[in-house]
């Protein structure tokens, strides 16, 4: 991938900032998401909560289903491929997807290597639990990062943990003397140049969203106040009582994430929230996939 293309791909993520990216499984859901103010949609056959329930191997979605969603909306459309499955990524690039999520939500196809994302023209977003994972994905060519959280649970605790950890590690790098960065890079298992970038700029070189377990306007605002630049909402919307209303409320909460009075109003009468499961109750821990 040319440097110019990488800059354009990082630039698209910058345009998504302050927005909400919603998981959708049908063109109808995609339209509801767009009308509620989603800045992009993630097209997938099953939302994470259902992937969890179904068990078995989960793979890239049917390209025809993804195309249907591309035709239904004018906002960017993302889709997931399995970790390390570069052919699924090639397919998604061939249908001109706007962003590929190399995602731990699907079953990993490779338990050692991630996709060489520098070999692609389309941008990639990848999940990370800490700064090391984030910078490794960026060195592989990711143009956007999101926390992993624990998808499909409706429990925000892991997303909070991942965002706090990443930001704490960024602050540590910033406060280091320059000659300490070589060892820090070694400890984090990341290229020195990326450690140096974080040391100098105090942020990741790409946009960083929150993902995994966000279910309410308050969850979304919490992630924004913790430093997320936008939010992915997966199962939380279409597993709830009133998806359109909840989606719109989460969008406004992300824009006005410090306005508690407004978020209070937005949180009224949203109907039933997604029934969550907490991490002690689940057998499959997706966040441990692809480190």
Q: At its nearest, how many Å lie between another protein and the CB of residue 80?
A: 16
Is 34 one of the binding residues for another protein (CB under 8 A)? Answer: yes
Contacts of 71 (CB under 8 A, 6+ apart): 27
What sign does the CA torsion over 14, 110, 150, 72 have?
Answer: positive
Figure out which of the listed residues 84, 108, 123, 213 binds another protein, where binding follows CB under 8 A.
123
Q: Rank residues 121 and 189 by Cβ distance to another protein and give the closer one.
A: 121
x-marked contacts with another protein along 228-267 as a string, rule CB under 8 A: --------------------x--xx-xxx--x--------
Is 7 one of the binding residues for another protein (CB under 8 A)? Answer: yes
Q: Rank residues 147 and 252 by Cβ distance to another protein and give the closer one.
A: 252
Q: How far apart are alpha carbons 234 and 47 in whole angstroms?
A: 6
Two tokens at 105? Answer: 């939500």
Q: Is 80 a catalytic residue?
A: yes
Q: Rank residues 70 and 153 by Cβ distance to another protein and give the closer one.
A: 70
Q: Kindly state the DSSP code that residue 84 receives in the 8-state scheme.
A: T
Q: What is the DSSP string of 223-243?
A: HHHTT-SSEEESHHHHTSS-H
x-marked contacts with another protein along 191-230 as a string, rule CB under 8 A: ----------------------------------------
218 by DSSP, 3-state: which? helix
172 by DSSP, 3-state: which? helix
x-marked contacts with another protein along 65-104 as a string, rule CB under 8 A: -----x---xxx----------------x--xxxx-----
Task: Annotate 134-164 with b (16+ C-beta within 10 A) or e (fewer).
Answer: bbbbbebbbbbbbbbbbbbbbbbebbbbbbe
- Residues interacting with another protein, by CB under 8 A? 4, 7-9, 11-12, 14-19, 34-35, 37-40, 70, 74-76, 93, 96-99, 121-123, 248, 251-252, 254-256, 259
Q: Which positions are annotated as active-site residues?
A: 80
């Amino acid at each position: 991938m040319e440097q110019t293309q990488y800059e354009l791909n990082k630039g698209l993520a910058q345009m998504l900032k302050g927005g909400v990216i919603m998981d959708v499984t049908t063109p109808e859901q995609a339209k509801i998401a767009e009308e509620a103010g989603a800045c992009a949609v993630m097209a997938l056959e099953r939302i994470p909560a259902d992937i969890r329930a179904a068990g078995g191997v989960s793979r890239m979605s049917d390209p025809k289903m993804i195309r249907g969603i591309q035709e239904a909306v004018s906002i960017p459309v993302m889709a997931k491929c399995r970790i390390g499955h570069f052919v699924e990524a090639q397919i998604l690039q061939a249908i001109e997807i706007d962003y590929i999520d190399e995602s731990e939500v699907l079953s990993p196809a490779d338990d050692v290597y991630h996709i060489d994302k520098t070999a692609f023209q389309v941008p990639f977003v990848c999940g990370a639990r800490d700064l090391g994972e984030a910078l490794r994905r960026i060195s592989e060519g990711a143009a956007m990062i999101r926390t992993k959280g624990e998808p499909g649970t409706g429990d925000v605790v892991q997303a909070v943990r991942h965002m706090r950890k990443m930001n704490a590690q960024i602050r540590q790098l910033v406060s280091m003397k320059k000659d300490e960065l070589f060892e820090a890079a070694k400890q984090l298992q990341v290229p020195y140049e990326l450690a140096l970038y974080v040391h100098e700029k105090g942020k990741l070189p790409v946009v960083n969203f929150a993902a995994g377990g966000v279910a309410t306007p308050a969850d979304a605002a919490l992630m924004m106040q913790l430093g997320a630049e936008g939010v992915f909402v997966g199962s939380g919307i279409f597993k709830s009582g009133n998806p359109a209303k909840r989606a719109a409320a989460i969008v406004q909460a992300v824009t006005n994430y410090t306005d508690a009075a407004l978020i209070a109003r937005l949180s009224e009468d949203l109907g039933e929230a997604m029934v969550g499961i907490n991490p002690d109750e689940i057998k499959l821990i997706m966040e441990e996939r692809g480190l």
